[in-house]
Amino acid sequence: MVPENLGFRMHALIRGWADFVIANRLAVLISVALFLVIALFTGPTTPYDNSTERYFVDGDPTIQDYDRLLDLFGDNEYLVIGFEAADEQADV
């Protein structure tokens, strides 16, 4: 259930944030520039793993099916599933 005054509180929060940024624009710009420099220096060392295997828990029997898919197709990005409409149907 959403409180009735949530819209008023969100408006007050947004208005307060906007007033803060306008009143402290130089500090905000310097902070953003500083965070950007920090992000540029620390970004390359941040590990990133987008492999599908990381979503399987240890001992998951589904991993065998996934390994078979890789053996058959070479990569999981080449699998295409198609649906065909029955002869008497105009659409799927």
What pLDDT does 78 receive? Answer: 65
pLDDT in tens, 25-84: 999 999 999 999 998 888 777 777 777 778 788 888 888 888 888 888 777 776 567 788
Q: Whole-angstrom Cα distance, residue 33 to residue 11?
A: 28
pTM: 0.43
What pLDDT does 35 receive? Answer: 95
Q: Whole-angstrom Cα distance, residue 69 to residue 57?
A: 18
What pLDDT does 83 receive? Answer: 80
Length of the chain measured in residues: 92
